[in-house]
Structure 1
Amino acid sequence: MQDGQQAVNERFIFRHVHTWRDGQRLAEQILQMTKSERPDAIFAGSDEVACGLISALSAHGVSVPGELAVMGFDNLPVAEMVHIPLTTVSQPIEQLGRISVERLLSLINHTQYRYDEEDLKSELVIRASA
């Protein structure tokens, strides 16, 4: 956002939001704002939260992505199943798991883990919500 010369509005940084229900509660907070005060888009820390947001916003007649774009993170199977398929970021979960197990085993076995820089590539998965 800084490169695009956009200011970060601290009002729109929501913390302690982790579940579907938290996403629904967040939608309720957003709906308390006037339309001109609302954000244009929300990037949720998980697909579960984003799906809860979409569910509650849609139930209140808010057009996603027309009035408010929603994006998640994880690319969970539910991201394709919600009534408005979720735009999300896919992370290399198998690769993360493999590296974690290798590091854990080296600790258990008291062996030296070879720390190499390894690129973990995320991928933007564009669907209907943003």
Structure 2
Amino acid sequence: MRPTRSVRRLAWARIEIRLDDTRLLIDPLENVAPLAPVMGPPHRPVDPVDTPPGTHALITHLHPDHYDHDLIARIAATGTIGCHTPSTAALHEAGITPVAQDNGAKTSPASAMSSTLRSRHKRKPSSRSNR
């Protein structure tokens, strides 16, 4: 059976890439309250994010419209967090251990996370059918 794959844009800057029960969220955001004073309320609802095991995240930068600390901490409890190297210290100070990446480096958080995702996917075959 072929794996179920999908890519979709979610609310705000969030993107979800899914392979069966494993997913990567890029710039996940759930709490928009810190943005309201500057940007106003969102034009569309920002739904709560379910973070079951198999959920991972890639943070492009630490601005509050791309980085939700509480959500990232929930994802980090069972998943991998990737980021740009300059963000690493701030994430460590916030209690999150990320996989860091320099721009232009040959090994990327996506590669490290891809290896993690592949190994987890191989260990747990999906019994779900294609959607």
Greater fraction of residues in helix? 1
TM-score by length of 1: 0.38
Greater fraction of residues in strand? 2
- Is the radius of gyration larger for structure 1 or structure 2? 1
TM-score by length of 2: 0.38
